[in-house]
Chains A and B, each alone.
Chain A
Amino acid sequence: KAGVTQTPRYLIKTRGQQVTLSCSPISGHRSVSWYQQTPGQGLQFLFEYFSETQRNKGNFPGRFSGRQFSNSRSEMNVSTLELGDSALYLCASSLWVDRDETQYFGPGTRLLVL
């Protein structure tokens, strides 16, 4: 079974640009969540989607948005990039069995904003 895939793996953008990152969950997983990891702020939760609906959102400005498609693939978008958006963006898909959850993470997309 294929794992969680994230594309692209690496990305370089300049300030003011926008970027879209993609996450394909493991087949059959309906929940996808996104995280940002930076040296300064550590790991932070961005959003969680389940069956195309955003269930939870972290404390990020409106420049950060996301969506989930009917096939459970998810995208996140960051508009008007700032230097501080340089980070590793991680995506996870979740499998729920009897109210118990197991998360599987992708390799991440490393974004550098110049």
Chain B
Amino acid sequence: AQKVTQAQTEISVVEKEDVTLDCVYETRDTTYYLFWYKQPPSGELVFLIRRNSFDEQNEISGRYSWNFQKSTSSFNFTITASQVVDSAVYFCALYSGAGSYQLTFGKGTKLSVIP
């Protein structure tokens, strides 16, 4: 069975601080995909990144970076120099299940960036 754990339910940081959102996943498959999504207060989901299990390279996109470590089954997301617009709920998700792929979401981490 697949499982995604986002242990941090809520995080508050002051603007310009760096913040890391943790994601730990469980799967028995060797081929899988990991995602991060952002859901601002408006409610519309925003796709941030998709990473496959064979690509452990860290990814950087502007102030966002992702650290994928298969050894610890983690796919953590860091926002550098946070801004108020980063306030949102962030979801990590796992797509796996050879033969019948399922997309499993974590419970989400609510990030509040205080000005």
User: Which residues of A line the B interface, CB within 8 A?
Assistant: 33, 35, 42-45, 48, 55-56, 58-59, 88, 90, 92, 100-108
Stretch in contact with the other chain, from B24-32, B41-49, B77-85: B41-49
**B100's closest neighbor in chain A, by CB?**
A56
CA distance A104 to B45 in the complex (A): 8
Tell me if A's interface is mostly helix, strand, loop or mixed: strand
CA distance A108 to B102 in the complex (A): 21
**Is A104's CB under 8 angstroms from B108's CB?**
no
Instruction: Tell me if B103 and A105 are in contact (CB < 8 A).
Output: no
Chain B contributes a number of interface residues (CB within 8 A of A) equal to 17
Residue in chain B with minimal CB distance to A94: B47
Of A55, A100, A101, A105, the residue contacting B45 (CB under 8 A) is A105
Contacts A42-B108, A100-B50; A105 near B102 (Cβ below 8 A):
no
Minimum distance in angstroms from A105 CB to a CB of chain B: 4
Tell whether B91 is near chain A: CB-to-CB under 8 Å.
yes
Interface residues of B (CB under 8 A from A): 43-47, 50, 91, 93, 100-108
B101 near A102: Cβ-Cβ < 8 Å:
no
Q: How far is the CA of A92 from the CA of B35 in the complex (A)?
A: 14
* B102 touches which of A43, A58, A103 (Cβ 8 Å): A58
Least Cβ–Cβ distance between A51 and chain B, in angstroms: 17
Q: Which residue of B lies closest to A55 (CB)?
A: B101
The CA of A48 and the CA of B97, in the complex, are separated in Å by: 14
Q: Which of B45, B93, B103, B108 contacts A58 (CB 8 A)?
A: B103
Beta-carbon contact of B105 and A43 below 8 Å: yes
Known: A42-B107, A107-B44. 18 other contacts (CB 8 A): A33-B103, A35-B45, A43-B105, A45-B103, A45-B104, A45-B105, A56-B101, A56-B102, A58-B102, A59-B102, A90-B45, A101-B50, A102-B47, A102-B50, A103-B47, A103-B50, A104-B47, A105-B45
